[in-house]
């Protein structure tokens, strides 16, 4: 019996070691080498060249900017809408399960399938969205090749896929709020909005922090949506690199251009950014706990 | 609308200690002092309907576009109702974009990953939930921490190793790395902490049952509802996994997402065929949602509440 707990958890740690931890360390090693896809047997020590190369590359800084912008405009409205949606789903509804399942169907749609449809909806001529905009007198927008238009369009794909999922997470948290908090609030004469503002939102704070962290991790890795949104020039994030996220930049450098050493350096930059976010998150949540 | 109306908060109570059957759709009406409960008003239904339409419209339109011809899709206004070209487009997606092979491959890959993940996660989750051992809380924390590592950190070495092994374009390259997940382990641990009475294990141990017998006769039966939900969530995840498969596989032996990626980058330039491919590749999961939507919703909410 003594050994069995370790036997039970060992599959996870063996798989984690073999397919995450060891590769992670090897990625660091490769990032210090010159590794070309076309000449894999010839790997030479490069020191910090790959990192220096990144820091002096406009495309690297562009990809950080793009990742940040798309991250913000896809996450913030998404989470706000998700809280609102969760609030509505928390009422006593006819067919409450049906509503929940419907809100979750975008989550069943893969990144690839969803993006392919949105590409068509956003197409320059004959696309549904430009056609609808025409009704309200807006000239057709070239979504694929415009700076902010393309970032907006890519964000809408993310928002469409994840709002319902996050709403369910908020809904679960809302249902865990003790009813007497609302009772005493209403005895104090708080109206619905005040109850939402002063009872629901503060009680949701840990959940909000959790969804912000998960969405931030997702946004930092954003890849499939911009890749397929760009079609043939997908790995570049459009001809003007307007939506070349960090994940896309890594793919482009590693498998399109063929510089796997540089791709490894990009991967580690991504990891360092996430570690930084984790530290900030730790500090913020500690402060939140203190203030309570 | 009156001020004494309060959102329902009953479900948490039902779930405590209960064998939540992944069934969270059920609500008991909450009675307040004045005997009022928070029914949704018409405005709520209107807003929810808008959300529902936005959620479903792109999927419905995928089917509409898949039933038209390429020429029709290039015209304004875009088609708003179904045409007669669906089966022709589906057939072309099946043949030209290898969606037939892709569907078969993805079914195999997703099923294997699901079985492995559910089995390994239940064992590990049980150990973390009910067994005492050195460093257990540190190891659990480590397990949760690994969820933060992006897959990008592994793909360069994995790609090189798979090439060395001569495994390029073979399905085991996409199965092995995701055969056991931190999420699954944590999910099962959270469920078993409350659903599996410790006395039951101790009683079995007093009776002289071996660890494996305890797992088989006590743990698995208690864990079954959560195993089913984790299985559904894992299957959806595995079906839709994108980054590593498009690097490890190509159009000669694709999964569904690899085939869709090929469609999106101009492998078959016909928009209606692309939409037929997207429809075909999503259909199995839509059917799964139709059948098990309630359980999937319950699983996501259950995973969230304690996460």
Write the secondary structure of chain A as one string of H (helix), E (strand) and C (coil). Answer: CCCHHHHHHHHHHHHHHHHHHHHHHHHHHHHCEEEECCEEEEEEECCCHHHHHHHCCHHHHHHHHHHHHHHHHHHHHHHHHHHHHHHHHCCECCCHHHHHHHHHHHHHCCHHHHHHHHHHHCCCCCCHHHHHHHHCCCCCCCHHHCHHHHHHHHHHHHHHHHHHHHHHHHHHHHHCCCHHHHHHHHHCCCCHHHHHHHHHHHHHHHHHHHHHHHHHHHHHCCCHHHHHHCHHHHHHCCCCCCCCCHHHHHHHHHHHCCEHHHHHHHHHHHHHHHHHHHHHHHHHHHHHHHHC
Give residue B48's pLDDT band: very low, low, confident or very high (50, 70, 90).
Answer: very high
For residue B118, the chain A residue with the least C-alpha distance is: A12
* Residue-level pLDDT at A39: 87
pLDDT digits (tens, 9 = 90+) for B179-230: 989 999 999 999 999 889 888 888 888 888 888 889 899 999 999 999 999 9
For residue B174, the chain A residue with the least C-alpha distance is: A19
Instruction: Please check the confidence at residue B31 and state whether its pLDDT lies above 70.
Output: no
For chain A, what is the radius of gyration of the CA atoms?
Answer: 23
A217 by Cβ neighbours in 10 Å (0-12 / 13-18 / 19+) ranks as middle
Residue numbers in B near A5 (CB within 8 A):
127, 131-133, 136
Test B260 with A4 for CB contact under 8 angstroms: no
* Residue-level pLDDT at B307: 42
For residues A223, A227, A229, A232, the Cα torsion angle rounded to the nearest 10 degrees is: 180
Please state the separation of Cα B84 from the chain's center in Å: 33
Task: Identify the three-state secondary structure at position B35.
Answer: coil
Looking at residues B25-48, what average pLDDT do you find? 61
Chain A nearest C-alpha distance from B265 (Å): 5
Give residue B17's pLDDT band: very low, low, confident or very high (50, 70, 90).
Answer: very low
Residue numbers in B near A250 (CB within 8 A):
152
Domain residue ranges in chain A: 57-291
Instruction: Please check the confidence at residue B261 and state whether its pLDDT lies above 80.
Output: yes
Nearest beta carbon to residue B12 from set A176, A186, A221: A176
Task: Identify the three-state secondary structure at position B75.
Answer: coil
* Residue-level pLDDT at A25: 96
Q: Is A27 on the interface with B (CB under 8 A)?
A: yes
Pick the CATH number of A57-291 from 3.40.50.10680, 3.40.1280.10, 1.10.3720.10, 2.40.10.10: 1.10.3720.10
Domains along chain B with CATH numbers: 97-268 (1.10.3720.10)
Chain A nearest C-alpha distance from B69 (Å): 13
Nearest Cα to Cα of residue A126 among B279, B271, B53? B271
Ramachandran angles phi, psi of B249, nearest 5°: -120, 160
CB A270 within 8 A of CB A223: no
Cα(A227)–Cα(B264) distance, integer angstroms: 9
Test A9 with B123 for CB contact under 8 angstroms: yes
Instruction: Please check the confidence at residue B304 and state whether its pLDDT lies above 90.
Output: no
Test B242 with A112 for CB contact under 8 angstroms: yes
CB B180 within 8 A of CB B117: yes
Q: What is the ipTM of this complex?
A: 0.91
CB within 8 Å of A241: residues ≥ 6 apart: A59, A62, A63, A66
Give residue B267's pLDDT band: very low, low, confident or very high (50, 70, 90).
Answer: confident
In this structure, what DSSP letter does residue B165 have? T
* Residue-level pLDDT at B30: 42
Residue numbers in A near B132 (CB within 8 A):
5
Across the strands, what pairs with A39?
A36
Task: Identify the three-state secondary structure at position B39.
Answer: strand
Nearest beta carbon to residue A12 from set B74, B180, B278: B180
Cα(A232)–Cα(A246) distance, integer angstroms: 18
pLDDT digits (tens, 9 = 90+) for B69-120: 888 888 888 898 998 899 999 999 999 889 999 999 999 999 999 999 999 9
Q: What percent of chain B has pLDDT over 90?
A: 59
* Residue-level pLDDT at B21: 40
B76: left (phi over 0), alpha (psi -120 to 50) or beta: beta
For residue B181, the chain A residue with the least C-alpha distance is: A12
* Residue-level pLDDT at A292: 65
* Residue-level pLDDT at A165: 94
If chain A, 292 residues long, is cut into consecutive pieces of 10 residues, what is the mean pLDDT of each piece?
81 93 96 92 91 96 97 96 94 91 95 95 89 91 92 97 95 90 87 87 90 91 95 89 96 96 96 91 83 70
> Mutate which of A6, A26, A37, A110 to test chain B, going by most B C-beta atoms within 10 A?
A110
Give residue B305's pLDDT band: very low, low, confident or very high (50, 70, 90).
Answer: low
User: Counting one residue from A and one from B, how many pairs have CB atoms under 8 Å apart?
Assistant: 331
Using alpha carbons, list the distances in angstroms from residue B179 to A269, B100, B118.
Answer: 27, 24, 9
Nearest beta carbon to residue A105 from set B56, B176, B240: B56
And the tokens for B1? 């609308």
Q: Is A285 on the interface with B (CB under 8 A)?
A: no
């Amino acid at each position: 019996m003594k050994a069995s707990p370790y036997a039970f958890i060992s599959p996870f740690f063996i798989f984690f070691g073999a397919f995450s931890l060891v590769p992670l360390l090897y990625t660091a090693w490769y990032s210090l080498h010159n590794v070309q896809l076309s000449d894999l047997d010839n790997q030479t020590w490069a020191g910090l060249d790959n990192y220096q190369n990144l820091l002096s590359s406009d495309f690297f800084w562009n990809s950080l900017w793009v990742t940040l912008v798309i991250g913000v405009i896809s996450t913030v409205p998404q989470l706000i809408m998700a809280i609102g949606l969760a609030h509505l789903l928390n009422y006593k509804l006819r067919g409450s399960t049906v509503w929940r399942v419907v809100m979750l169907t975008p989550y069943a749609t893969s990144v690839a399938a969803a993006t392919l449809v949105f590409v068509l909806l956003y197409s320059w001529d004959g696309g549904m969205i430009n056609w609808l905009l025409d009704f309200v007198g807006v000239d057709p927008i070239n979504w694929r090749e415009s700076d902010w238009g393309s970032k907006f369009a890519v964000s809408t794909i993310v928002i469409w896929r994840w709002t319902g999922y996050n709403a369910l997470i908020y809904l679960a948290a809302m249902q865990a709020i003790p009813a007497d908090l609302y009772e005493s609030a209403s005895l104090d004469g708080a109206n619905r909005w005040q109850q939402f503002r002063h009872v629901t939102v503060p009680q949701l704070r840990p959940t909000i922090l959790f969804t912000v962290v998960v969405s931030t991790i997702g946004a930092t890795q954003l890849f499939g949506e911009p890749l397929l949104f760009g079609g043939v020039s997908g790995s570049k994030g459009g001809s003007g690199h307007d939506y070349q996220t960090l994940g896309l930049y890594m793919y482009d450098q590693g498998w399109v251009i063929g510089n796997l050493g540089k791709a490894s350096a990009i991967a580690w930059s991504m990891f360092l950014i996430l570690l930084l976010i984790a530290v900030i998150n730790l500090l913020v949540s500690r402060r939140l706990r203190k203030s309570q | 609308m009156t001020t004494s109306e309060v959102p329902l908060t009953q479900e948490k109570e039902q779930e405590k200690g209960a064998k939540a059957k992944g069934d969270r759709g059920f609500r008991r009406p909450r009675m307040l002092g004045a005997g009022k409960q928070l029914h949704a008003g018409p405005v709520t239904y209107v807003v929810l309907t808008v959300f529902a339409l936005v959620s479903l419209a792109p999927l419905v339109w995928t089917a509409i576009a898949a039933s038209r011809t390429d020429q029709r899709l290039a015209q304004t206004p875009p088609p708003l109702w179904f045409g007669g070209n669906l089966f022709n487009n589906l057939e072309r997606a099946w043949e030209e974009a290898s969606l037939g092979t892709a569907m078969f491959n993805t079914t195999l890959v997703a099923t294997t990953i699901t079985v492995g993940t559910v089995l390994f996660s239940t064992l590990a989750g049980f150990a973390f939930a009910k067994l005492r051992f050195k460093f257990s809380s540190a190891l659990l924390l480590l397990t949760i921490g690994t969820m933060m590592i992006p897959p990008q950190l592994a793909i360069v070495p994995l790609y090189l190793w798979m090439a060395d092994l001569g495994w390029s374009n073979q399905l085991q390259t996409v199965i092995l790395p995701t055969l056991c997940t931190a999420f699954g382990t944590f999910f099962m641990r959270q469920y078993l902490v409350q659903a599996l009475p410790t006395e039951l294990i101790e009683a079995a141990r007093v009776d002289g049952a071996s660890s494996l017998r305890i797992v088989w006769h006590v743990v698995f039966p208690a864990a079954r509802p959560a195993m089913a939900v984790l299985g559904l969530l894992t299957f959806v995840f595995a079906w839709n996994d994108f980054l590593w498969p498009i690097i490890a596989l190509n159009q000669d032996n694709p999964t569904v997402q690899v085939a869709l990626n090929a469609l999106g980058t101009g492998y078959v330039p016909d928009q209606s065929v692309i939409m037929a491919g997207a429809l075909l590749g999503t259909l199995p999961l839509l059917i799964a949602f139709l059948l098990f939507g309630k359980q999937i919703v319950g699983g996501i909410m259950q995973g969230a509440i304690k996460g």
